[in-house]
Amino acid sequence: MYSFMGGGLFCAIVGNILIVVSTATDYWMQYRLSGSYAHQGLWRYCMANKCYMQTASIAYWNATRAFMILSGMACFAGIMAGILSFAHFSAFERFSRSFAAGIMFFISTLFVLLAMAIYTGVTLSFLGKRFGDWRFSWSYILGWVAMLMTFFAGIFYMCAHRMYESRRVVGSR
């Protein structure tokens, strides 16, 4: 049980770091514009070695930002519940912290998936036609890796919960 929780906690911490880095960095997409390379993130775009804030309030950027921030918060809450699940207090016998941590990691996974799906869909349908020479970049890829890490953290914590519940049921007989 503790090995599942440890593995889940490791995946969750790595996933949360990747969510923060992916959200904060400016390399979601790279493209060639007027003969020079440019790149953009969720908050800024950079051209000719100068970066500018994304001032346009475009719905898909706002939705992607919001879902990435919510994902980071849900993952952090899951990490806190995951750490607390190592300590078993009799007052919390009816409340399984490992189950709560697993649910928070699955919620984080859902939010990252929504953010990445929105960004991917709009980029491919709109920006992909506008710019001829473009590609997704490393910040975008970190978002997908973060989704996998939070998903596996949820799986690990659900396995730990099942092991704890099966031991508790066998022990009460």
Is 5 contained in some domain? yes
Where would I find the H helices in the chain?
2-24, 59-84, 97-122, 128-130, 138-172
Is 150 contained in some domain? yes
Cα-trace Rg, the chain: 20
Is 46 contained in some domain? no
Which one-letter DSSP state was computed for residue 90?
Answer: G
What's the rounded Cα separation, in Å, for the pair 17 and 11? 10
Structural domains of the chain, count:
1
pLDDT of the residue at 47: 87
Please state the pTM of the whole predicted model.
0.88
Arithmetic mean of pLDDT over the chain: 87
Reported as half-sphere exposure (CB side, CA atoms, 13 A), residue 88 has a value of 9
Element housing 52 (H / E): strand 50-53
Q: Give pLDDT tens digits for 73-116.
A: 999 999 999 998 887 654 455 567 889 999 999 999 999 999 99
Q: Residue 133 corresponds to which amino acid?
A: D
Which one-letter DSSP state was computed for residue 87?
Answer: S
* Total residue length of the chain: 173
Structure tokens given for 58: 């475009």
Is 47 contained in some domain? no
**Domain boundaries, position 165:** 1-27+59-171
Is 99 contained in some domain? yes
Is 52 contained in some domain? no
Is 36 contained in some domain? no
Is 138 contained in some domain? yes
Q: Give pLDDT tens digits for 31-72.
A: 877 778 888 899 998 988 899 998 877 888 899 999 999 999
CB atoms within 10 A of CB 91: 6
* CATH code of the domain containing 121: 1.20.140.150
What's the rounded Cα separation, in Å, for the pair 11 and 82? 11
